[in-house]
Structure 1
Amino acid sequence: MQSTESQPRPLHVLVAGGGIGGLTLAQGLAKAGIAVTVFERDAHARDGDQGYRMVVNADGERALRDCLPSALVDLCERASIAPATLMTFLDTDLEPRFAKPLPRADSGYVLNRLTLREILLAGLGERVQFGRRVTGYDQVGDGRVRVQLADGLTVTGDLLVGADGTDSTVRGLAVPDAEFDLVGHLVRGRTVLHPELASWLPEILIDTVSRVLGPGGVSMSVATCRVRRVPGLTAVPDYLSWSISLHHDPGGAAPHWVARDVVGDWHPALRRIVAEADPAEVVSLPLRAARPVERWSVGNVTLLGDAVHTVPPGRGEGANVALRDAAVLRHRLIDATRGRIPLARAKVEYENEMLAYSFAAQTSIRTTKPYAPRSGA
């Protein structure tokens, strides 16, 4: 006879953070018939720094297929960015140092981040509550968790998932001794690829993914993004997604001016790409890498994505690992709702698996250059 603890019971999962990982988990739980509520601090879906380009690798694609309804999986593929045809490494005069054709990949694709967020929100409706920031939590007598919100209200559920990013409030409470290494700084922007710009843009920067290697280890990446138009999704103009990696803290200087200063004596096309970006879309951010943590002891609170294993941007590994987190946690929670294992064990099994693969991936990222050619590629 089964113990009462392992009997199937409905769950209500509370998620702090409506980013890629949190929304993918919400889709996966909704698909499985598990109640979920996401609390997102941004007031609207378009708020916040979403970034402009995400490479969905094979692991990320599998996770999306697992968590999303088939219609949304198809939408991801149809709304993806047209694949680049060439990878190049250039000097600041745009003279090639290395170039190779990019064959059509058998799996994965590239997505505009806003497009992906719109797709991940599809069908979730009131399960996602914008403008509601999680500020804390406490335990209640029946083994459940009560979440405190910035508006003063509270919501009670069976499990709280901190998917609230690198500056996670939930992690700060559950794992207060978690530490990060500062590994650099990044300035990121987007420049619309209007016809006039395309007329003077050097061919080496058209439909390519390029890395410009500057002095002192400073570098700039430029990728052409042509987003396929799909009815029902926000139309995104063709654009160049670019970022500049720095070793120094730009401080309080306006990010757009920081970027213009860095490329001030580089090739005129690079200077013009930066100059013609919308200053409001240029942001600077520190690059942080989380140090490995031990599994935490809070019984009904867990973490997902950058809230636990932040990595610097490179090939998009951080976001893809967050997608994998969502799929792994989804399956453990399905096991709990079907009475195969208690919820507490489901949480532990997820954390053990997630901590192992996420920090193994991070070690690989730290020891390789993120834009260097992969062996055998």
Structure 2
Amino acid sequence: MEGTTAAGGPRLPILIVGSGSTGLALAQGLRKAGIKCIVFEKNASQHRERDWNMGLHWGAPVLKSLMPDGWWDRIQSVQVDPHVPTKEEDTLTWLQGDTGEVMAAFTFGPFYRLRRSKLRDLLSEGLDIEYDKRLENITYAEDGQSVTAHFADGTTATGSMLVGADGARSSTRQVLLGPDVGAINHLPYAATFVQQRFSKEQALYLRSFHPLFLAGAHPSNTFAFFGMHDAADPDDPSSWTFFFYISWRSSLEEQEATKDWTDAQRLAQQKELSKPFCDPWKSAYEWTPDDAPVWHLGLTEWDPGREGHRWDNHNGLVTMVGDAVHPMTYQRGQGLNHAVTDAGKLRDALVQIQEGGDRAALITAFEDEVIKRGGTEVRDCTANTTLLHDWERVKQSPFFTKGMKKNET
């Protein structure tokens, strides 16, 4: 099934840089199609300190198509609450942050809220993954038939194609476009994330607002999210971990000035922002210990449709998927759906190439679609973030007007 080259030798593998959800989903899709691939991850292991959760909805059929037969039955096990079956339809409620009044309710589905670490563990099974491999450079064979990845540890790997799936601060993108054009774009918005357990009574109260997720906008020009991250034991609410944040307009100067803040300073700032909020945010922050660990993030994006952002794919030898090509702000919950769609479309193109299709034409057509679809979403998400933090215009935001629906391009 792995095929041969025109010279009769074994076909070189596809090199996938990055073992996030996108790279792993693509690798599983290629394995399913009988196309050899190797995944390279810059970190020393699969597990990192930070874990978060992601919404999967219109992209679900694509992820299912990439997984080995029968694996989709396991998707329940990687959800934030694996004990509650996914509903065919669910409702995301949007509250006015100061009064608790329902501003809007979006019904859609099925909606999967997946823990990133558990999804990665599932998608890692059966793959060839090499760790501690940080990409530094890419070179191309003179005959145009292979590409070589050069890693920081001095090693190299040669394949029939290289796919950058290495996230928002993609090394692949910076190699292809240079450190300036390929650098992530910092936005004047920030958020500090809290993951916290509470007492049984507190947990039951907080979860009574919605079993999985809740959003809110406040007249103070802040946006808030509250949701479940891990329902370890369904019968022990004190084992549940909640995930919540308040985001606000934060100038790049403020972000630079506070870059060395401690967790305690970050949390104190969040607690101050939460004081005018209704529940569940007000109580959740009051009940969070002052020394609780948090993590802070300035919002970023990179628009592949912007002039000067088109890269040279060297006649189809190199391309990018997921956050490497269209990192977007997260308040509209579209990132994972676009990422797995990229993986599915690239899998389809690689199958056609395997069957004798024109590599350069197929990869360029793949990129054209990704840039149009993903670039539109990047711009929409950035506009959405801007509007969510402007109370006078919040109801004009794509989140408010479209909910979680897919953009039509």
TM-score w.r.t. length of structure 1: 0.84
Q: Which moved more, 1:144-153 or 1:357-366?
A: 357-366
Match of 2:115 among 112, 115, 120: 112
Does residue 374 of structure 1 match 2:379?
no
Aligned with 2:70: secondary structure?
Answer: helix
Deviation at 1:97, TM superposition (A): 4.3
Query: What code does the residue aligned with 1:284 have?
Result: H
* Partner residue in 1 for 2:313: 298
Query: What code does the residue aligned with 1:374 have?
Result: K
Aligned with 1:372: secondary structure?
Answer: helix
* Partner residue in 1 for 2:101: 96
Contact 2:267 2:290 in 1 (8 A): no
Query: Partners in 2 of 1:280 and 1:63 — Cα distance?
Result: 38
With over 3 angstroms needed to count, the CA separation of the structure-2 counterparts of 1:8 and 1:222, relative to structure 1, is farther
* Partner residue in 2 for 1:270: 281
With over 3 angstroms needed to count, the CA separation of the structure-2 counterparts of 1:70 and 1:193, relative to structure 1, is farther
Query: What code does the residue aligned with 1:56 have?
Result: L
Q: Which moved more, 1:272-281 or 1:242-251?
A: 272-281
Query: Partners in 1 of 2:404 and 2:349 — Cα distance?
Result: 35
Deviation at 1:27, TM superposition (A): 0.6
Question: Which residues of 2 match residues 1-377 of structure 1 at below 5 A?
Answer: 10-51=11-52, 53-58=53-58, 60-80=59-79, 81=81, 82=84, 87-92=93-98, 95-98=100-103, 100=105, 105=109, 107-124=110-127, 127-143=128-144, 144-176=146-178, 177-178=181-182, 180-183=184-187, 184-198=189-203, 201=206, 203=208, 205-207=209-211, 209-214=213-218, 216-225=220-229, 227=231, 237-248=239-250, 249=255, 250-264=258-272, 265-266=275-276, 270=281, 273-274=284-285, 276=288, 282-291=294-303, 292-293=305-306, 294-299=309-314, 300-339=317-356, 341-368=357-384, 369=397, 371-372=399-400, 374=402
Provide, for residues 318-356 of structure 1, a one-character-per-residue CA deviation record: whole Å limited to 9, x for no partner.
2211111100001101111111x1322232121112111
With over 3 angstroms needed to count, the CA separation of the structure-2 counterparts of 1:77 and 1:70, relative to structure 1, is farther
Query: Partners in 1 of 2:141 and 2:373 — Cα distance?
Result: 32
Query: What code does the residue aligned with 2:361 have?
Result: R
Provide, for residues 166-213 of structure 1, a one-character-per-residue CA deviation record: whole Å limited to 9, x for no partner.
11111011122246543311212212255243255484x342532343
With over 3 angstroms needed to count, the CA separation of the structure-2 counterparts of 1:375 and 1:30, relative to structure 1, is closer
With over 3 angstroms needed to count, the CA separation of the structure-2 counterparts of 1:336 and 1:239, relative to structure 1, is same
Aligned with 1:263: secondary structure?
Answer: helix
Cα RMSD (Å)? 3.2
Contact 2:16 2:40 in 1 (8 A): yes
Contact 1:40 1:130 in 2 (8 A): yes
Query: Partners in 2 of 1:215 and 1:259 — Cα distance?
Result: 21
Query: What code does the residue aligned with 1:363 have?
Result: R
Deviation at 1:287, TM superposition (A): 0.9
Query: What code does the residue aligned with 2:213 have?
Result: V
Q: Equivalent pairs: percent with the same residue?
A: 25
Query: What code does the residue aligned with 2:150 have?
Result: Q
Contact 2:166 2:323 in 1 (8 A): yes
Query: What code does the residue aligned with 1:57 have?
Result: H
Aligned with 1:147: secondary structure?
Answer: strand
Query: Partners in 2 of 1:89 and 1:73 — Cα distance?
Result: 33
Query: Partners in 1 of 2:173 and 2:50 — Cα distance?
Result: 21
With over 3 angstroms needed to count, the CA separation of the structure-2 counterparts of 1:276 and 1:70, relative to structure 1, is farther
Query: What code does the residue aligned with 1:361 have?
Result: E
* Partner residue in 1 for 2:391: none
Query: Partners in 2 of 1:213 and 1:363 — Cα distance?
Result: 21
* Equivalenced residues, count: 360
Deviation at 1:375, TM superposition (A): 6.5
With over 3 angstroms needed to count, the CA separation of the structure-2 counterparts of 1:295 and 1:320, relative to structure 1, is same
* Partner residue in 2 for 1:233: none
Aligned with 1:365: secondary structure?
Answer: helix
Query: Partners in 1 of 2:381 and 2:204 — Cα distance?
Result: 37
Query: What code does the residue aligned with 1:95 have?
Result: G
Aligned with 1:309: secondary structure?
Answer: coil
Contact 2:232 2:239 in 1 (8 A): no
Contact 1:79 1:229 in 2 (8 A): no
Provide, for residues 99-148 of structure 1, a one-character-per-residue CA deviation record: whole Å limited to 9, x for no partner.
64x6572x342111111111111222xx1112222122112334211111
Aligned with 1:161: secondary structure?
Answer: strand
Query: What code does the residue aligned with 2:29 have?
Result: G
Deviation at 1:42, TM superposition (A): 1.8
Deviation at 1:246, TM superposition (A): 2.1
With over 3 angstroms needed to count, the CA separation of the structure-2 counterparts of 1:298 and 1:208, relative to structure 1, is closer
Bigger RCO of structures 1 and 2 (CA < 8 A, at least 6 apart): 1
Provide, for residues 71-113 of structure 1, a one-character-per-residue CA deviation record: whole Å limited to 9, x for no partner.
2211113543446766141324x6324364x6572x3421111
Contact 1:21 1:163 in 2 (8 A): yes
With over 3 angstroms needed to count, the CA separation of the structure-2 counterparts of 1:148 and 1:350, relative to structure 1, is same
